[in-house]
A and B are shown apart, each in its own frame.
Chain A
Amino acid sequence: MGQVDSVQDTQQNLPESNSPLKTQVKPGLFSKNKKKAPKPPVHGGFWKRLSKQKALLCMSIPFVAWLIIFKYIPVAGWMMAFQDYKPQFGLFDQEWVGLKHFKDLFNEPMFYRALENTLGMGILGLVFGTLSAIAFALFLNELRFVALKKWTQTISYLPHFVSWVIVANIVITMLSTDGFINNFLEGVGLIDNPINFMAEPGLFWGIVTATDVWKETGWNAIIYLAAMAGVDPQLYEAAKVDGASRLRQMWHITLPSIRSVIIVLLILNIGNLINIGFEKQMLLGNNIVYEKSIVIDLYALDYGIGMFRYSFGTAIGIFKSVVSVILILICNGIAKRIGEGRVF
C-alpha cells in the first residue's frame, strides 16, 4: 500500500508542478513555498532594513503602481453597477441607484438566452474537452510506435498556439458550402446538397465544441500524460501477472491513478464554466445564428460598450464573478465530501 500512497501523493502535486501550462492552476505563493524557504534571520529594525533595501523598493514601486492602476482600479469600478454612471462625472459623484441594473438585467429575455448559450457551450466544451483529452492521453500513453508518439504529440498542440482568428478562418473555410467537409460528405454520398453549416443555428454549439476539441485536446492532454508518466510501473507488472489485457490495464490502473488530477482540473474548469470567453462565439457567429451564439461576454460587449450602458454592463460582470465563485465553492465542497483531491 505504501507505494500506492506515494503515487497518489505525487499526483496530487502534479497540477501545481505543471502550472506553466494551465493558467487556472495556481502555485501557492504563500502556503507551499514558505514552508520550503523560511524567512532568513532579520537584522535590525524595520527602518534600518528598509534603508538597506532601497534598490528593492525602487524595483517594486513601479509595478505596485501598475497593479493598483490596471488591476485594482477596475475592481473599484464595480461601484458603477450600483450607480447610473455618466462618463462626464467622476466615480464618486454619480447618482446611486441600488440594485436597479441587476433588476433590469434579470428582466431582459436576451440575458437568459446569453446565459443559456454560455452554460450550454461551457458544459459541452467541458465534457467533450475533458473526455477527448483523457482519451487522447490514454491512447498516446499506450502507443508502442515511439517516433509516431512523439510526432503525434508535437503536432497535436500546434493548434493551441494559433489565434482564434486563424482557427475561425480555418473552420469557416472547411465548413463552407464548397469546403472540404461538404465535398467529403457529398463524395461518400451522405448528402446530396451542400449544407451551409455556418448558417444553421442548431449546429452552432456543436461547431464551437468541435473546434474547441480540435484546438485544445493535445494541449490539455499534456497534464494527463504527465500524471500517467508518474504511475508506478509495478502496478502494470502486477496486473500483467494477473492476466489483465491492455484495455483492462488502462481502465483499472491508468484511469484510477490519474483520478485526482482529473477531479482537480474538473473543479477548476467548472468554476470557469461561466467564463468561457467570447472569442470563438464572436468570430464564428453571424447574424443568422445570433440566437445561439450570443454569450454573456458578448452581451456585455454589445449592450455595455456598444450601447454605452456602462452600469448595466458592469452588473453583468459582477453577476459572472458571483456565479463563478459559487460554482467553485460547490464543486470544492463536493470533492471534499467524497474525499478526493481538491483545490483549497
Chain B
Amino acid sequence: MKKKKWTPFDIILTFFMLIVVVVTLYPFLNILAISFNDAVDTARGGIHIWPREFTLANYQEIFGSNDRLLQAFTMSVLRTVVGTVAGIIASTMLAYVLSRRDFVFNGLVGFLLVLTMFISGGLIPEYLLIRKLGLINEFGVYIWPMLLSAFNVIIIRSFMDNLPPALEESAKMDGANDFVIFLRIIIPLCLPVIATIALFLAVMQWNSWFDTYLYARGNEALTTLQFELMKIIDNANISSGDINNQNAQVIAGQTSPQSIKMAITIIATVPILAVYPFLQKYFVTGLTIGAVKS
C-alpha cells in the first residue's frame, strides 16, 4: 500500500468518527463520574466526566450497609454462573448428538430443535407453563426456561462438523463409547466455540430482568441487580407522572439518590466491560472462520 495523501474527505471522516466515539462513551463516563461523586454535591449538577468531590461512599452504601443490594449482586452472579454452566453442558451435548449423522434419530431431534426457531407459544402460554411447573419464585426459573437455544446449538454443531472425523474413528477403534468420545475428544477441541457461547450466555443471564419481574417478584431472595435498577427506574417514572415535577424529583431522590443509582448502574455494567475484550476477540475470529467456511 502506498502512503496516500490526506484529503479533506479523510479529515471530515476522522472528525465524524471522533464524534461517534464521544457520543457512545460520554454517557458511560458521566455515570462513572457521578457514581464516584459525593451524593449531596451531585444534586448541584454539572458533573461531566470527572467527579468533583471524589468519594467511595456510594459503593460502600451498596456493598456495606444495604443488604438487599448486596443480595441482588450475589444473586446476579449466581444465576450467571449456574445459568452459563448449565447452558453450556446442555448445548454441547445436544450439538454433539446432532453432529453425529449416523445417529438413528438425528433427523427427528434436529427437526424438533430447528422448528423452535420459527414457532413460539408467546407470552401467556409460557407464563402459564412456568406457573404449572411450580417455578414461580424459585431459583429454577432463571435456569430452566433458558437452558437451550436452537441458535447456540447450531453454532456449536457447525463447529463440530469441521473437526477431523478421523479422531473420532480412531477412538472408536480403541473401544471408547460415544459419551467418552464426547467428553475426552470433542469437548477439548471445541473450547473456542464453547468460550464464545459461554460469553453470550453469561451476558444474557447477567442482563436479564424481565424474568425476575414476571416470575420471581414475590421472593425477595431472588432479586437481581438489574431488577433493582429496573425498580428504581419504575419509581422515577411513576413520580414523573406527577404534575409537579420538582416535587417528583424530591420523592425519587429520597428513595434513591442519583449517585447511588449511578453506582448500581456501574456495578451492573462492569462485568460486561470485564468480559468485553475476550468477547471481542472471539466474535471477530468467529466472523473470520464463518467467512472462510462459506
C-alpha spacing A36/B98, complex, angstroms: 15
Is A151's CB under 8 angstroms from B93's CB? no
Query: Which of B24, B237, B268 contacts A286, CB < 8 Å?
Result: B237
B131 and chain A: residue at smallest CB distance: A87
Given A39-B101, A286-B237: A139 in contact with B17 (beta carbons within 8 A): yes
Is A66's CB under 8 angstroms from B90's CB? yes
Q: How many chain-A residues does the 8 Å CB contact rule pick out?
A: 108
Is A286's CB under 8 angstroms from B196's CB? no
Given A55-B178, A163-B207, A180-B30: A305 in contact with B124 (beta carbons within 8 A): yes
Residues of the B chain whose Cβ atoms lie less than 8 Å from the Cβ of A13: 294
Is A314's CB under 8 angstroms from B268's CB? no
Is A300's CB under 8 angstroms from B101's CB? no
Query: Taking the nearest CB of chain B, how far is it from the CB of A146, in angstroms?
Result: 11
Residues of the A chain whose Cβ atoms lie less than 8 Å from the Cβ of B154: 19, 26-27, 29
B191 interface contact, C-beta 8 A: no
A47 and chain B: residue at smallest CB distance: B104
Query: Per-position contact with B for A46-82: 1 when CB-CB < 8 Å, else 0?
Result: 1001100101111110011011111111111110100
Query: Taking the nearest CB of chain B, how far is it from the CB of A11, in angstroms?
Result: 10
Given A60-B109, A71-B120, A161-B272: A286 in contact with B125 (beta carbons within 8 A): no
Is B31's CB under 8 angstroms from A80's CB? no
A92 interface contact, C-beta 8 A: no
C-alpha spacing A140/B21, complex, angstroms: 12
Size band of the interface chain B makes with A? 35 or more
Query: Which of A49, A156, A170 contacts B27, CB < 8 Å?
Result: A170
Query: Taking the nearest CB of chain B, how far is it from the CB of A246, in angstroms?
Result: 5
C-alpha spacing A77/B93, complex, angstroms: 28
* Stretch among B54-62, B66-74, B283-291 lining the A interface: B283-291
C-alpha spacing A26/B229, complex, angstroms: 34
Query: Per-position contact with B for A276-290: 1 when CB-CB < 8 Å, else 0?
Result: 000100010111100
C-alpha spacing A148/B147, complex, angstroms: 39
Given A37-B161, A169-B229, A317-B122: A305 in contact with B144 (beta carbons within 8 A): no
Residues of the A chain whose Cβ atoms lie less than 8 Å from the Cβ of B290: 16-20
Residues of the A chain whose Cβ atoms lie less than 8 Å from the Cβ of B7: 246
Query: Taking the nearest CB of chain B, how far is it from the CB of A143, in angstroms?
Result: 5
Is B287's CB under 8 angstroms from A21's CB? yes
Is B128's CB under 8 angstroms from A77's CB? yes
Is B9's CB under 8 angstroms from A247's CB? yes
Task: Supply 30 A–B pairs (Cβ within 8 Å), ascending by A.
Answer: A17-B287, A26-B117, A40-B101, A49-B102, A55-B178, A59-B93, A59-B97, A60-B97, A67-B113, A68-B112, A73-B121, A73-B125, A77-B122, A77-B126, A139-B16, A144-B13, A152-B20, A158-B273, A158-B276, A161-B272, A162-B269, A165-B230, A169-B229, A169-B265, A173-B31, A199-B245, A246-B7, A283-B233, A304-B123, A310-B124
For the complex of A and B, the 3 pairs showing the least CB-CB separation, nearest first, are A74-B121, A77-B125, A317-B122
B binding-site residues for A, Cβ under 8 Å:
4, 6-7, 9-10, 13-14, 16-18, 20-21, 23-28, 30-31, 45-46, 48, 90, 93-94, 96-98, 100-105, 109-110, 112-114, 116-117, 119-129, 133, 144-145, 147-148, 151, 154-155, 157-158, 161, 177-179, 182, 196, 203, 206-210, 214, 226, 229-230, 232-233, 236-238, 240-241, 245, 249, 258, 261-262, 265, 268-269, 272-273, 276, 279-280, 283, 286-287, 290-291, 293-294
